[in-house]
Chain A
Amino acid sequence: MSEWDKKTILSVENVTKKYKNELACDNVSFTLPAGSVTVLLGPNGAGKSTIMKSIIGFLRYSGDITVEGHPNKSIEAKRVLGYMPEIPSLYPNLTVEEHMEFVARAYRLENYRPFMNELLERFELDDKRYKFGDELSKGMSQKLSLCCALLPQPKLMLMDEPMIGLDPHAIKELKILMGEMKKNGQTLLVSTHIIDSMDRLWDHAVIMQKGKILGNVVREELERQGRTLEEEFFALTEGISESDMYSLTEED
């Protein structure tokens, strides 16, 4: 029995999103089992961010999205969801610590300080806690955005291109943290176009192109076939077979 049949935390059914005349997502359907790490893979413009934004409730779409059985825009669903945006954006006149406090107040978190301090330490923001939002570099802003998203400890965390802009240490820490979240039973949906970035962490992968899902990949099944995610990705998106891949590698 594959892991897809485990208790579903997120269900995306027939989601279609149009921007004026452009079809960003075309009848997208997939489910996420609780406690898994799922990668949303696809080239630029595949519709990954649109799906992420639809799940978090930012966009209007046709179709159904439920989180633990609740409509995704309901308060019950939002208590389960966490979101790390692709482009970090901070309040210029709030300090690093005040950003965390802002999130804690918005989510009505109590006794959040120990976890806040832990996050700030892990992502090397401890000594920058009194820096203002507009004084942080792009990487630092990304780290703070990540810390803010992690602070409420959501059951289902959506991360839109989380590695972009982070330094190697932060990437390492993020990967460790993702592993810990997985161990704690939290579910992760990570969108990326860098296949290697989630190499050791992923359980499932949803491969998208031009707004459509090309395939749902389960790690165990793929490993049983002796194939890699990269091969599967190129086979689905570019129609390049395993032999073609090897010949390309040899030519290189």
Chain B
Amino acid sequence: MQMIQLALWYMKRTFLNSFKRHKIMFICIILLFVGFIVFGNYVSKKEAEEQTEITESDQKKYDVIPEYAEANKIYKTEDGWFIGDDFGQVHSVAPIVIEAVCFMIVILVVGLSFATGAKSGANFFSMADVNFLFPSPHKPQAVLSFKMVAQVGMALLGTAFLLYQYPNLVREGMLSPLSFVLCFFAYFALAIMNNFVSLASYLLFYDHPKIRPMVSKIVLVIGALPILIFLFLTFVLKIGLYKSLTLIGTSIGSRLIPFVGWMKTCFSSIIQGEYLWALLFFMLSVLFCILLVKWIFSREVDFYEDSLDFAMVQQQTLERMKDKKKGLTNSSLRSKESIEKKANKIRDKHISFDRSPGAKAFFTKNIRNRMRQSRLKGLLAGSLIFNLITAGIIYYTWQKPRAEIDAAEIGKYDMIIFLLAILVFAIILFFRSRSNPLQLDMNVNFIYMIPESMPSILLWSYAAYIIEGLVDMSPIPVLLYLISGNVGLSLLCFLMMLVYYVYTSLCGFALNCIFRVYIAKLLLQILSFLLAGAPLYLIYRLRSNLIKSDVYTVVGFTIWLLLAMSVVFFIVCAKLLRRGKQ
């Protein structure tokens, strides 16, 4: 009990102190949240008004005529969405899709938590916890309760992201306001439970360190199994979307799986407005949760060493970040000799610093770093994977349903497909841009001593980053062209990706310049995620207006928007750095 009180006191102090220290950032995040919700609400209202004005002929187009219902074709009616099966029958999409999607998401999320727990062990303590709490006169279980209470606070913060989806889910008619609130609580419960699941998996395999990595991999596969089975049924066996979804989501067996099945049914029941069922399955999940916590606390496991190991690694990473040595791992520090050899080799091959004076030195340095990291002539293994994922998404979204679309609709369809593919790629790029070398450059003091203008330094340092982006994205336009056969569109989309790449990294960098702190890392990430998502969200919300235009206009508009925002951020960055120089 004392540890729980301590945890509550700690959380209160941390939150209040964070708020005091980062008022501006908190206000920015709240404003952005409110902005998204208000804007989303406004656009949804407009769309709803427009929909009521749909003419009789338009209405007919969406009506479902069971005799003509094609297998796997999805129809929209006034009553909602429907899907046709192989026998010419139509079924409401909502329960099938919702249940199947909920199942796939819940099992994946829980599987990931279980796998992380089994692999990484007791990874929830910081070095400060180790130093202050571990030597205190409390049982390890009591120390554990401190962290668990703190994790609940973090789960609540993570769940707050759902609020951002309010206009999409409620205004679009997918959820009633009550269902949204219940979903919020169910998701919160799931987030808390994930921490317990992770901890339980660690405690379960605590005595078997050798099999832990293997267990982690097996559980990951199990977590992804419903998705894999769905893909296999739909695309390999081609049994049809309706059958696949039914098999995956609504099978009675899936409801019986403890916690995963219950949470899935709870979510789908909330979404469908069956609140009694939702309550029943929620209570079952809570009961499971209570039993799990009881089991966790009954295990007298000495987790201090594992926690210490993890906390030390975390501490070293933090120290490196503070010392601006990010990228140099312990093993790489140990193999200093091999790095020096490699560096000499590269120095012989490539342009030297002597030939690139002033701000250009940053360009050379970053390119050289890239060459050092790469084993495939400048291409990183991670980039190849990103490209393959994007190519897969583009290929599927382009190829599969295109045949089912009327010739008149193809223009609109092309645009949606391109936007989807680009959105996926943009998200991947956004996460990749978190390791922006530019940010590291700007944290080095000597950058301010170079006798050149700040925009020039910024440009040279940034040029290397853009070249890296170009190299990483080079297979994309080729793929786009091979799939679509449209040169102009492929190039435009490539340009759009590149501009988005520049935009996300610049806004991330600007935020780092403004809030040059490490402690608010989470807040900073939330803020940069919101900023990075802002133009995409804007385009998404304006889609009903944009859809009337052709694909070139949409891509052109997006490029213009991203470019304008990038320029604004570039000016902000240069000004901030100039101030730093002074």
Verify if A145 is at the interface (C-beta below 8 Å from B): yes
Q: How far is the CB of B68 from chain A (nearest CB, A)?
A: 63
User: Does A92 have its Cβ within 8 Å of any Cβ on chain B?
Assistant: yes
**Smallest CB–CB gap between A95 and chain B, Å?**
7
A106 on interface, CB distance cutoff 8 Å: yes
Beta-carbon contacts under 8 Å, A68-101 to B: 73, 75, 78-79, 81-83, 85, 87-95, 98-99
For residue A76, which residue of chain B has the nearest CB?
B137
Bound-complex Cα distance A107 to B137 (A): 7
Q: A60 contacts which chain B residues (CB < 8 A)?
A: 302, 305
Count of B interface residues, CB-CB < 8 Å: 32
The one of A57, A59, A89, A134 that contacts B131, using a Cβ cutoff of 8 Å: A89
Contacts of A106 in B (CB 8 A): 6, 132-133, 136, 138
Min CB–CB distance A153 → chain B (angstroms): 13
CB distance from A21 to the nearest CB of B (A): 13
Closest Cβ–Cβ distance, residue A206 to chain B (whole Å): 21
Query: CB of B38 within 8 A of chain A?
Result: no
> A98 contacts which chain B residues (CB < 8 A)?
13, 17
Known: A58-B304, A60-B302. A132 touches B21 (CB 8 A): yes
| Interface check A103, CB cutoff 8 A | yes
In contact, A93 and B17 (Cβ under 8 angstroms): yes
Note all chain B residues with C-beta closer than 8 A to A85: 130-131
**Within 8 Å of chain B (Cβ to Cβ): is A148?**
yes
CB-CB nearest in chain A for B136: A106
Q: Is A224 an interface residue (CB 8 A)?
A: no
Partner of B305, one of A58, A83, A145, A148: A58
B132 surroundings in chain A (CB, below 8 A): 99, 102-103, 106, 148
Bound CA–CA A75/B137 (angstroms): 5
The residue in A73, A93, A132 that gathers the most chain B C-beta atoms within 10 A of its C-beta is A93
B125-166 vs A: 1/0 string, CB under 8 Å? 011101111111111000000000000000000000000000
Q: Is A108 in contact with B2, judged by CB distance below 8 angstroms?
A: yes
Query: Measured between C-beta atoms, what is the minimum distance from B578 to chain A in Å?
Result: 25
A-contact bits for B1-38, CB 8 A (1 contact / 0 none)? 01001100110011001100100000000000000000
Question: Does A78 contact B136, Cβ atoms closer than 8 Å?
Answer: yes
A105: interface (CB < 8 Å): yes
- Residues of A contacting B440 with CB < 8 Å? none
Query: CA–CA, A191 to B124, complex, Å?
Result: 28
> Which residues from B are CB-within-8-Å of A57?
134-135, 304
**Which residues of A have CB within 8 Å of B305?**
58-60
Cα–Cα distance between A98 and B9 once the two chains are bound (Å): 10
Residues A91 and B304 in contact in the complex (CB < 8 Å), given A79-B137, A134-B519:
no
Count residues on chain A whose CB falls below 8 Å from chain B CBs: 36
Decide if A56 is an interface residue (CB 8 Å cutoff): yes
* B14 and A91 contacting across the interface, CB-CB below 8 Å: yes
**Assembly CA distance A56 to B132 (angstroms):** 12
A58 touches B13 (CB 8 A): no
Alpha-carbon distance between A71 and B128 when the two chains are bound, in angstroms: 24
The reply to whether B137 and A78 contact each other, CB–CB distance below 8 Å, is yes
- A182 CB-CB contact with B under 8 Å: no
CB distance from A124 to the nearest CB of B (A): 21
Q: Please state if B127 and A58 are interface contacts (CB–CB under 8 Å).
A: no
Shortest beta-carbon distance, B226 to chain A, in Å?
37
Within 8 A of B (CB), among A103-144: 103, 105-108, 132-134
Within 8 A of A (CB), among B301-317: 302, 304-305, 308, 311, 315
Given A89-B126, A93-B14, A132-B17, residue A59 in contact with residue B137 (CB < 8 A)? no
A58-B304, A75-B139 known; A91+B18 contact, CB < 8 A: no
A195 to chain B, nearest CB (A): 26
Q: Any chain B CB within 8 A of the CB of A210?
A: no
**Known contacts A93-B17, A94-B14, A95-B17; A88/B6 CB under 8 A:** no
User: Which A residues from 20 to 37 make CB contacts under 8 A with B?
Assistant: none
Q: Does the CB pair A89–B135 fall under 8 Å? A: no
Confirm or deny: A175 has a beta carbon within 8 angstroms of a beta carbon on chain B: no
With both beta carbons as reference points, the residue of chain B lying nearest to A106 in the complex is identified as: B136
CA separation between A148 and B21, bound complex, in Å? 24
How distant is the Cα of A60 from the Cα of B549 in the complex, in angstroms? 67
The reply on A193 being an interface residue by CB < 8 A is no
How distant is the Cα of A89 from the Cα of B125 in the complex, in angstroms? 12
Question: What residues make up the interface of B, taking CB atoms closer than 8 Å to A?
Answer: 2, 5-6, 9-10, 13-14, 17-18, 21, 126-128, 130-139, 302, 304-305, 308, 311, 315, 517-519
A-B contacts, 28 of them at CB < 8 A, read A53-B308, A56-B134, A60-B302, A60-B305, A75-B137, A78-B135, A78-B137, A78-B138, A82-B135, A83-B131, A85-B130, A89-B128, A91-B14, A91-B126, A91-B128, A93-B13, A93-B17, A93-B18, A94-B13, A94-B17, A98-B13, A98-B17, A102-B132, A103-B136, A106-B136, A107-B136, A132-B519, A134-B519
Apart from A56-B135, A85-B130, 9 more pairs, CB < 8 Å: A58-B134, A78-B135, A83-B135, A92-B519, A95-B17, A99-B132, A103-B136, A106-B136, A106-B138
